[in-house]
Structure 1
Amino acid sequence: MKFNGTVHSIFDRTVNLKCRTNGELYTIATDSVDNAPNTLVTDIDSFSKRGLVIGDEVYAEGERLYVGKNAAVMLQQVHVWRSKLPSYPEDEDILRNHVAEAQLWIEAHGKAGGMKRSAETGNSFDQEMDRLLRERSAGLLEALSKGEVSLASHYAIQLIGLGPGLTPSGDDFLVGLFAVMNLTNGPLFKIRHMCERVVAASADRSNPISYMALKKAASGQVRESIGEFMHHMIHGSKTEVISRLSRVLGTGSTSGTDIALGLVNGLKLSIERNGR
């Protein structure tokens, strides 16, 4: 392994590293975090008390990755993980049923405050944020349903950076939607180039951590929990769908719900487009 960079950000379960070679962010994570693009899952139980400082040097030498002065990760047992999305099904009956079930589960168990409307009215800022998220996501889905790629791109760009959270709700919704657009043989697959164009035009609209998730999702690279959920939506049982959906919903604060709504709305749109 070759790596040269610095510590970008530090959390309890993850440390993000910025690579000097390509400018991308990479993540070292505890084993409570699932596999994801550019992520190394370790047996370290916490990063917040390891004396790491933003800007610390990070480099790989031999079988070790050195992070600052006090942390080293052994690399002998590292296994390469690659994101894999299923192909869109020829028979949509199972998917159609699972989309309806997933929608009901998100309504009952998803966390409000982002893409899912909160029952509380909140202050005027929250109300305006809620209105913009709803208006722009609805515009995006409608434009995609009509095949209006340019208009869809406009709405997608307007969603980036919008909403609460370290990864804003609009970004998370797009991560889910972009994953659906990258399903081989799916109704949206032929216009998936839109995803990368949207991300390329939006580098300055969100923070680096969220932008990296969007960049990867634009080419169909998403975290393992998302890929497993998609697989069971197409091939699994109701029990498996709910189990994997619950895992997605557990991501971050509202992030999991926002991602799940992007996934489910994208799948619902795919079914509708195929039915014409």
Structure 2
Amino acid sequence: MSQQCQGSITTIDQQLVTWLGNKEAHALIGTVHSIFNTVINVLSSDRNNLLTLALDEVVSSPWMMKTEDNYLFELMKSKIAPGDSVTLSENFTIEIKQIEWNYKNAVFSDTKINKKNASEKIFNNGFSNKVYQFIKEQGKDSGLVSAWDKYSMENPNANEDENVYVKSYLQAIKKMSEAVENNDKSAVLKHSYRLIGLGLGLTPTGDDFILGCLAVWGFFESPLIEQFKESNWIENAKKKTTVISAFMLENGVNGYMNQALGDLLIHHKEKDLSTYLGPFLKIGATSGTDMLIGVIFAYKQMN
């Protein structure tokens, strides 16, 4: 018998709604995978999907549902642990440790990339400069910004006492750049593996960079995105990185992105991008900045 603790979900990803709609009531949908300050991750029973329950302040992402009920969210965090069961109750409700979350009246979010057709593929020469300026003023450097400074020659002497990460990021970016310019799709995939799993955190810096690239390639329908889909790239990437990051990259390959990436690309031709760049500061310690470096890299190559 569940205790009388019920919270409401304010927004939920359309993919997740569809997936839950195919489950039977009272079914085990997964187990708690990891618990953080503002998010709780749930690994599906078949281990094919990672669901996220988050506070409303978190940037919307694929397979995420969000709540404004901070009190109940904190209460649940104090009661649950990794491995706890997550079930689907009746009436559009999931249950974790006798706390229920109802998503019947939630607003749907769509994280599918809205691709541009050929007539709309007009690039803004000032876009990359605006994003880079934002990064330099407000971003956080995991080492990738220093590597990008040297790669782009904005500051060829950046970080003279480079650590191993900066050197590795720089070498991988150079190799990927050469492969893209030579239209060698298989080489792009090959050199992307140098970045997967490289760096610290739940989503390593190299993975965040690749996600930014995937967002741009998917948005502008670059042939590269099909190469990533058709190969066994994601299966290989999963062996090199964290569980959370692997699902992030898989969503990226399949054309699903967090709201920050989607909004920025949709409005890439606008003069003032500040509204769309600010949310990246909320994504991890440096993940948002690292994604933006990937966006700049891919955008410049597409332009």
TM-score band by shorter chain is: 0.7 to 0.9
CA distance in 1, matches of 2:62, 2:217: 18
Q: 8 Å contact 1:228–1:244 — kept in the other structure? A: yes
Larger Rg: 2
Instruction: Confirm or deny that 1:141 pairs with 2:173.
Output: no
| RMSD, aligned CA | 2.2
Instruction: Confirm or deny that 1:108 pairs with 2:140.
Output: no
> The residue matched to 2:203 in structure 1 has which SS?
coil
Instruction: Confirm or deny that 1:66 pairs with 2:98.
Output: no
Q: For residues 20 and 172 of structure 1, do their structure 2 counterparts lie closer, same or farther at Cα, with a shift above 3 Å needed? A: same
Q: Deviations over 1:185-209 (max 9, x none)?
A: x4xx222123233222221100110
CA distance in 1, matches of 2:120, 2:81: 52
Alignment of 1:53-202 (within 5 A): 53-63=81-91, 64-69=93-98, 71-83=99-111, 84-87=113-116, 90=119, 95-117=124-146, 127-184=163-220, 186=221, 189-196=222-229, 197=231, 198-202=233-237
Point out where structure 1 has 5 or more consecutive residues left out of the alignment.
Answer: 272-276
TM-score by length of 1: 0.87
1:246 to 278, 294, 303: 278
2:265 to 196, 205, 230: 230
Q: Deviations over 1:46-74 (max 9, x none)?
A: 447431100000011112200124x2211
Identity of aligned residues (%): 23
Measure how far apart 1:242 and its partner are: 2.2
CA distance in 2, matches of 1:208, 1:179: 20
> The residue matched to 2:192 in structure 1 has which SS?
helix
Query: In structure 1, what residue type is equivalent to 2:105?
Result: Q
TM-score by length of 2: 0.79
Point out where structure 2 has 5 or more consecutive residues left out of the alignment.
Answer: 1-19, 148-157
Measure how far apart 1:107 and its partner are: 2.3
Measure how far apart 1:120 and its partner are: 6.0
Q: For residues 114 and 90 of structure 1, do their structure 2 counterparts lie closer, same or farther at Cα, with a shift above 3 Å needed? A: farther
CA distance in 2, matches of 1:141, 1:102: 19
Measure how far apart 1:250 and its partner are: 3.1
